[in-house]
Structure 1
Amino acid sequence: MISIEPIQNDIQTLPPEAQDLLIDFIQLLKKRYPETKTENIDVSPESRSFLEDAHEFIGCLEGRPGDLATNKKYLEGFSTE
């Protein structure tokens, strides 16, 4: 865990404009990463979805289509029985 005292000291040495920017940035992070209430819930690997397990890897490749469905030729034959 990060010690909060050095961070508080660093914040206090910033000019007021920078402190305002920091507050804005914290608000942005809070919106992007809302607090979850899963701390008290034991989530077993069997109850998690693949999306939850692979979340950190979504969008990690650059230069590829965001959705393979954009390549219609690649998907030919998948829907036939």
Structure 2
Amino acid sequence: MLTLEIAIQKIQQLPPEQWQKLLEFIEFLEYQSSHQKTAPKTIENPEVSFAEAAKEFMGCLDSDLEDLSHNPQYLEGLGEE
């Protein structure tokens, strides 16, 4: 039996509520394989910005927030010392 046939058989045995998790995992694997060729250059080039070094991870999390500055509690006391 081919690997694909085994996978399809196992997927069909899963309860429907787990299909979404499976789809998300497949999309994660697609994302990971498409970004493996670009590794961050922080060690070789220390002048690379954090945003550039973390570019492959941007958008990985499901959230309505663009960044932590949307949380006023996170900003409390910032710059005070």
- TM-score interval, normalised by the smaller of the two chains: 0.3 to 0.5
Higher relative contact order (CA 8 A, sep 6+): 2
Give the helix-richer structure, 1 or 2: 2
Work out which of the two has the higher radius of gyration on C-alpha atoms and give 1 or 2: 1
Per the normalisation by structure 1, the TM-score is 0.38
Per the normalisation by structure 2, the TM-score is 0.38
